[in-house]
Amino acid sequence: MNIKVLLDESEIPREWYNLAADLPTPMQPPLGPDGKPVSPDMLGKVFPMNIIEQEVSSDRWIKIPEEILGILYKWRPTPLHRAVALEKALGTPARIYYKNESVSPPGSHKPNTAVAQAWYNKQFGIKRITTETGAGQWGSALAFSCALLGLDCKVYMVRISFDQKPFRRLMMETWGAKCVASPSTETNAGRKILEEDPDTPGSLGIAISEAIEAAVTDETGQTRYSLGSVLNHVMLHQTIIGLEVKKQLAKINEKKVDVVIGCAGGGSNFAGLAFPFVADKIVGANIEVIPTEPSSCPTMTRGPYSYDFGDTIGMTPLLPMHTLGHTFVPPPIHAGGLRYHGIAPLISQAVIEGLLSPRAVHQIECYEAAVLFARTEGIIPAPETSHAIAAAIQEAQKAKEEGKEKVILFNFSGHGLMDLTGYEKYFAGKLQDYPLPEELMNKSLAAIKNLPKPKAVKSGRW
């Protein structure tokens, strides 16, 4: 028999875990354009107040409303698998486990927060949610969630993805969302960009600007904006992943995890799996926790800890985070979800506190890992997920060299069925390991040199 651990309905976690409550240093607040902390009220036109309360909460445990559990229950608890065939192929003494978040209808972990955000918006009387999407994972998860909750959903999709990835757009439309190419003619931000450059491929930064503008300028007051990663409440909603894993490991009497791994772009799937284990580490457990990022976008391994904008054009509040500078444009790796200049403030601070051991991996090693995984464990990984698999294989090989029976756990954040063109290029020998564009990085870092620096943290590399 394969080893697969399930939980039944009664075992689904009923509270989210908030790492902010346990970090040795309190979280630094987001800052406004004047350099002063942004008050919750100032965000009220962007997000509903119940979500803002979660964003700033320092409660350790936050109850998951029954109605949200009812929807998550469509595909949760997700299975925890032991990668027996992969272990065998590697000849490792390590036991490798993966949490399978690919079983949600949109195919990734993203609906864990999309459902929660849609539900809180609806509770607050909101009728319509706007968002941006790059590759389309997030947009499709929010479209799915809004369909189930009866909300309107409008997605600004980066033009180049809109043109190149019609299937992701079609998923959103099938779930009833409106999806437009960004920049669009529907917002001032979009029109301004199009006037300057009618042929622009768009960017996530522009799409964020349009989605926020569409939310805050709706005169009915019934529209809000939703973000799929980076922010504290998003990390919070994802912790159901790691909390389930703890119950699953207990069920099979697996007492101690040695290594916890997740890929990290904005950071939400990593945080979701890892934060409940980071809590153990804070009180002394010996666990290595590894967020994995692309070598060509090394936010945590190379970026300083600084205040920076969340978007490219500087519309959002300043967030305290590891960043390569908000103007940094990573090379066109296939893991679109990992091409982000910054990373979640909660993860950034955990890095600074020495709780995490970030690691960068190259694209080709990731595809090698993904193909080995598909041919042993049977599920085709998303390009983002392959970064976690590559690190897990590195750790399994290390355990083999050391002759140690380690327990390695990683998050299988999503399947790759909508992203097979990367595999095609890999098989054709046309993929490359993009080097870090050092000059570009230094330029974008220079541009944020004068932004405020976070205070009151143990250490920092700026």
- C-alpha–C-alpha distance, residues 347 and 340, integer Å: 14
Q: Is 184 exposed, middle or buried (0-12, 13-18, 19+ CB in 10 A)?
A: buried
- C-alpha–C-alpha distance, residues 152 and 220, integer Å: 14
- C-alpha–C-alpha distance, residues 378 and 86, integer Å: 10
* Residue 147 lies near a second copy (rule: CB under 8 A): yes
Count of residues touching a second copy (by CB under 8 A): 44
Question: Given the complex with a second copy, which of 18 and 386 has the nearer CB atom?
Answer: 386
- C-alpha–C-alpha distance, residues 281 and 258, integer Å: 11
* Residue 393 lies near a second copy (rule: CB under 8 A): no
* Residue 4 lies near a second copy (rule: CB under 8 A): yes
- C-alpha–C-alpha distance, residues 319 and 307, integer Å: 5
Question: Given the complex with a second copy, which of 168 and 359 has the nearer CB atom?
Answer: 168
- C-alpha–C-alpha distance, residues 217 and 241, integer Å: 35
61-63/15-17 β-pairing: antiparallel
Question: Given the complex with a second copy, which of 103 and 160 has the nearer CB atom?
Answer: 103
x/- track of binding to a second copy for residues 248-287 (CB under 8 A): ----------------------------------------
CB of 366 to a second copy, least distance (A): 14
* Residue 95 lies near a second copy (rule: CB under 8 A): no
Q: Which helix (H) or strand (E) holds 276?
A: helix 268-282
CB of 281 to a second copy, least distance (A): 31
CB of 68 to a second copy, least distance (A): 11
Question: Given the complex with a second copy, which of 386 and 444 has the nearer CB atom?
Answer: 386
Bin 212: left if φ > 0, else alpha if -120 < ψ < 50, else beta. alpha
Q: Where are the alpha helices (DSSP H) in 24-158?
A: 49-56, 66-72, 84-90, 111-123, 137-149
- Work out which of 21, 49, 103, 315 binds a second copy, going by CB under 8 A: 103
Question: Given the complex with a second copy, which of 15 and 258 has the nearer CB atom?
Answer: 15
Q: Which residues form the interface with a second copy (CB under 8 A)?
A: 1-2, 4, 6, 8-9, 66, 69-71, 73-74, 81, 85, 103, 105, 107, 144, 147-148, 166-167, 170-171, 173-176, 371, 374-376, 378-380, 415-418, 420-421, 423-424, 427
